[in-house]
Amino acid sequence: MAEAHFNANKIFITLFILTAVEVAWGSLVPYEMKPALWGGLLIFAFWKGILIFQYFMHMKFEGWIVKCLIAPTPILILIVYFALLPDVALNDDTLYQVGDQLDPENGEVVEIGKGSRNLVLHAGSEEDGGH
């Protein structure tokens, strides 16, 4: 077992303060200022995540076997997110937007904002009425 020499109370208080600051950041920064809002929130979230991972999960004090065991995971995460990047960055060029729906009656695509949501709700209410 890894011998963990760290001050758990200190880590706990740091996590506590970071959460308070994060919530304040999320409340005070306007929702429209996305770069500032998202940037700040992600910094706080990753900071807290690293503290939990390194100290509470003892990764800082583990040997090379355990570190090697978990090392492929961040690489795989990066691969997954790089693979998803085109879907994020090129969504203006996609044929259909997220939220578009297929009308089952005539087989046409109803765009979001032009009644696609009503289509789903309408279909749901028809089903309810049928029972």
Q: Which residues bind other proteins (CB under 8 A)?
A: 1, 8-9, 11-12, 15-16, 19, 22-23, 25-27, 31, 37-38, 41-42, 44-45, 48-49, 52-53, 56-58, 63, 65-66, 69-70, 72-73, 76-77, 80-81, 84, 87-88, 91, 94, 97-99, 112-113, 117, 120, 124
Q: CB–CB of 112/100 below 8 Å? A: yes
- DSSP assigned state of 94: S
- Which residue is it, tokens 């709700």? 121
Q: How far is the CB of 103 from other proteins (least distance, A)?
A: 17
Q: Among residues 63 and 104, whose Cβ is nearest to other proteins?
A: 63
Q: CB–CB of 25/34 below 8 Å? A: no
Q: CB–CB of 61/8 below 8 Å? A: no
Q: Among residues 108 and 127, whose Cβ is nearest to other proteins?
A: 127
C-alpha 51/C-alpha 17 separation (Å) is 13
